[in-house]
Amino acid sequence: MLAYIKGTLEMKMTDYVVIDVGGLGYKVYMTSKGMEALGNTGTAIKVYTYYRVREDDISIYGFNTNEELRMFELLLSVSGVGAKTALTMIEVTEPSEFAMAVISEDVTYLTKIPGIGAKSAQRIILELKDKMKKENIAIEAKNIKIQIDNSSVDEAIAALQVLGYNKKEIEKVFMKVDKKGMTTEELIKKGLNLLGR
């Protein structure tokens, strides 16, 4: 319903900000890291939003990037993961690192996140991998038309797709990048930088 909110940062509280848009104040829940990145009150800002409607609650959650928003949406689709847990995860991990952990089935990385135990981490991996397959996000190495035979490129492409980018756009960007010697994480960061322009 609300893709983003653009307005003046009116106030910052412990777990939310108020954004003034034409005289209306929108209460938007954010991570403390996200609020810090917005700057001082009185600043013109743009926040990507998730509009959540429940029987007993209507809330707006805000994010500095589309990648964070996509990660939040993916996490909410996992059974047993609520908005507070999803925000905590976004607070402590980058979307690229999260996507990498899901794709590489890195339970150890996910359990380092506060409130995520081994069972929760396994459920997140299982449910998000399934979701990726349903959405045809799963990547098949045979179909990649990239000149380099490198599993880190495959993993980087898959991670960027988890964050909502189109496979063809990612391949096009990676064609222009010198991938020799780059780790998966470096490739993801480079891809995010180029795709975000």
- What are the structural domain ranges in the chain? 4-63, 66-134, 141-192
How far is Cα 103 from Cα 100, in angstroms, rounded to an integer?
A: 5
Looking at domain 4-63, which of 2.40.320.10, 1.20.1250.20, 1.10.3720.10, 2.40.50.140 is its CATH number? 2.40.50.140
Identify the burial level of 25 via C-beta atoms within 10 angstroms of its C-beta, where 0-12 means exposed, 13-18 middle and 19 or more buried: middle
Question: How confident is the model at residue 134, as a pLDDT?
Answer: 52
pLDDT in tens, 43-89: 999 999 999 998 888 999 999 998 899 889 999 999 888 999 999 99
Question: How confident is the model at residue 147, as a pLDDT?
Answer: 37
Question: How confident is the model at residue 146, as a pLDDT?
Answer: 36
pTM: 0.70
The answer as to CATH 3.40.50.10800 being correct for domain 66-134 is no
Q: For the chain, which ranges sit under pLDDT 50? A: 133, 135-149
Question: How confident is the model at residue 132, as a pLDDT?
Answer: 52
Residue type, 145: K
Q: Which residues contact 57 (CB under 8 A, 6 or more apart)?
A: none
Question: How confident is the model at residue 38, as a pLDDT?
Answer: 94
Question: How confident is the model at residue 148, as a pLDDT?
Answer: 40
Query: Measured between alpha carbons, how far is residue 68 from residues 73, 118, 119, 153, 180 in Å?
Result: 9, 23, 23, 22, 28
Question: How confident is the model at residue 4, as a pLDDT?
Answer: 94
Q: What is the mean pLDDT of the chain?
A: 84
Question: How confident is the model at residue 106, as a pLDDT?
Answer: 87
Show the beta-strand stretches assigned E in the chain.
4-12, 16-21, 24-29, 44-54, 57-63
The domain defined by 141-192 folds into Helicase, Ruva Protein; domain 3 (1.10.8)
